[in-house]
């Protein structure tokens, strides 16, 4: 099976169709590309501006710890083959395959929308989660800086925020985050899926090197910013042999705790993952899927609240037992950090900003 260097998915096939109105997009998206020497040209990352009417999304899932979130981008250039957010691209009549990691959407109005929503009378303060659908520090954040601008609003308002990322680009914002951490207004989760660069290059091809993520944990912790490591997802027969080493590594870097989720394969992620296995691990593809089905109650994916985050069966229990023991050896206590909500102050209006 042919793979494209620097991209995670090996497919860009049909997905669920939602028959949306035709979208106005950059002409580059529509170009017919000529093949050179029988090979397709390498896909470039394309970004289209999206102008939503609101930016805070409310969540009611009983097994998720946050009630509201912000996503500055749609799609993610990191290209992680396991990403549970891939199916959301189908809502735009785009493929959760290569489209998800090459046809991105940016929301430059997000900071002002956030300011407006926080200013509404009766706004109920609760920690906002960033990085719940796509990574807020993916490569395009370097130029667009939407995540940075949203954090500036939250810092000004003294509003609590949880951030999840697998990018060391977050250290660029240590100035803001350390200030918020002083008042217990921020906590960061860094995803460390593997310590093996060879596995990382195919599993999450445009995400930072594992050593750079450990470095980010080290820098954030040294700045007084609480960091939890997410060893997620654990992929059986691909990364599960690293559980103990990863937990030890993040503890040495200064993480205050570690957590994990077994790999999930909702909707279009399952066939994409199967194709990825056949391309990169054909010798164990059948074994990997057999274990995943055992963890997921005989299916490729378990969508049920409660079990979807934990898994079930012998393999799930084995992974859980090893992880618990590794956490204990690392000295993690499981103490949860509760962010403060009593310091919130609504954004100042445009008139006050003049003085």
Tokens 């409310």 label which residue? 58
Query: What is the C-alpha to C-alpha distance for residues 26 and 103, in angstroms, rounded to an integer?
Result: 10
State how many domains the chain has.
1
**pTM summary value:** 0.88
Assess if residue 200 is contained within a domain.
Answer: yes
Question: CATH number of the domain that 234 lies in?
Answer: 3.20.20.70
Is the model's pLDDT at 34 over the cut of 80? no
Rounded to 5 degrees, what are φ and ψ at 260?
-150, 160
Bridge partner residues of 162 (DSSP) = 129, 187
| pLDDT tens column, 138-164 | 999 999 999 999 999 999 999 999 999
Query: What is the C-alpha to C-alpha distance for residues 17 and 92, in angstroms, rounded to an integer?
Result: 8
Q: What is the mean pLDDT of residues 76-97?
A: 94
Assess if residue 300 is contained within a domain.
Answer: no
Q: 3-state DSSP call for residue 291?
A: helix
Q: Which residues span the domain enclosing 188?
A: 46-264
Is the model's pLDDT at 24 over the cut of 60? no
**Among the ranges given (5-9, 11-15, 165-169, 254-258), the one the predictor scored with the smallest mean pLDDT:** 11-15
State the pLDDT at residue 15.
56
Q: What is the mean pLDDT of residues 250-264?
A: 97
Bridge partner residues of 191 (DSSP) = 230
303 versus 248: the higher-pLDDT residue is 248
Assess if residue 154 is contained within a domain.
Answer: yes
Q: What is the mean pLDDT of residues 75-94?
A: 94
Is the model's pLDDT at 30 over the cut of 80? no
Assess if residue 117 is contained within a domain.
Answer: yes
State the pLDDT at residue 165.
98
Query: What is the C-alpha to C-alpha distance for residues 227 and 229, in angstroms, rounded to an integer?
Result: 7
State the pLDDT at residue 138.
97
Is the model's pLDDT at 353 over the cut of 90? no
Percent of the chain's residues with pLDDT above 70: 87
Query: What is the C-alpha to C-alpha distance for residues 215 and 222, in angstroms, rounded to an integer?
Result: 11
Instruction: List the end-to-end C-alpha distance of the chain, in Å, as a whole number.
Output: 62
Is the model's pLDDT at 302 over the cut of 60? yes
Assess if residue 185 is contained within a domain.
Answer: yes
DSSP state of 271: H
Crossing angle for the helix pair 210-222 and 174-182, to the nearest 10 degrees: 40
Assess if residue 328 is contained within a domain.
Answer: no
Is the model's pLDDT at 23 over the cut of 90? no
Assess if residue 289 is contained within a domain.
Answer: no
Tokens linked to 132? 């719940």
**Among the ranges given (40-54, 81-95, 131-145, 159-173), the one the predictor scored with the smallest mean pLDDT:** 40-54
């Amino acid at each position: 099976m042919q793979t494209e260097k620097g991209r995670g998915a090996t497919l860009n096939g049909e997905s669920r169709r939602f028959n949306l109105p035709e979208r106005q997009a950059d002409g580059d998206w529509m170009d017919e590309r000529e093949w050179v020497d029988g090979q397709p040209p390498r896909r470039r990352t394309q970004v289209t501006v999206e102008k939503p009417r609101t930016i805070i999304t409310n969540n009611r899932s009983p097994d998720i710890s946050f009630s509201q979130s912000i996503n500055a981008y749609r799609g993610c250039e990191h290209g992680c083959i396991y990403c549970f957010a891939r199916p959301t691209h189908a809502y735009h009549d785009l493929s959760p395959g290569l489209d998800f990691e090459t046809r991105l959407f940016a929301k430059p109005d997000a900071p002002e929308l956030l300011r407006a929503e926080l200013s509404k009378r009766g706004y109920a303060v609760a920690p906002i989660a960033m990085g719940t659908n796509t990574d807020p520090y993916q490569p395009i954040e370097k130029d667009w800086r939407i995540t940075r601008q949203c954090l500036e609003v939250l810092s000004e308002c003294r509003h609590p925020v949880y951030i999840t990322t697998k990018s060391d680009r977050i250290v660029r914002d240590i100035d803001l985050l350390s200030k918020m951490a002083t008042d217990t207004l921020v906590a960061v989760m860094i995803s460390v899926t593997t310590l093996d660069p060879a596995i990382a290059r195919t599993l999450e091809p445009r995400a930072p090197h594992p050593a750079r993520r450990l470095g980010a944990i080290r820098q954030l912790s040294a700045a007084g910013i609480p960091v939890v490591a997410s060893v997620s997802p654990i992929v059986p027969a691909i990364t599960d042999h690293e559980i103990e080493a990863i937990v030890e590594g993040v503890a040495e870097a200064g993480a205050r705790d570690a957590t994990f989720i077994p790999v999930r394969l909702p909707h279009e992620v399952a066939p994409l993952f199967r194709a990825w296995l056949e391309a990169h691990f054909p010798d164990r593809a059948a074994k990997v899927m057999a274990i995943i089905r055992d963890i997921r109650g005989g299916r490729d994916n378990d969508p049920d609240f409660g079990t979807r985050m934990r898994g079930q069966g012998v393999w799930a229990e084995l992974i859980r037992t090893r992880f618990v023991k590794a956490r204990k050896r690392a000295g993690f206590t499981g103490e949860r950090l509760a962010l403060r909500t009593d310091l919130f102050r609504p954004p100042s209006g445009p008139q006050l900003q003049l003085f």
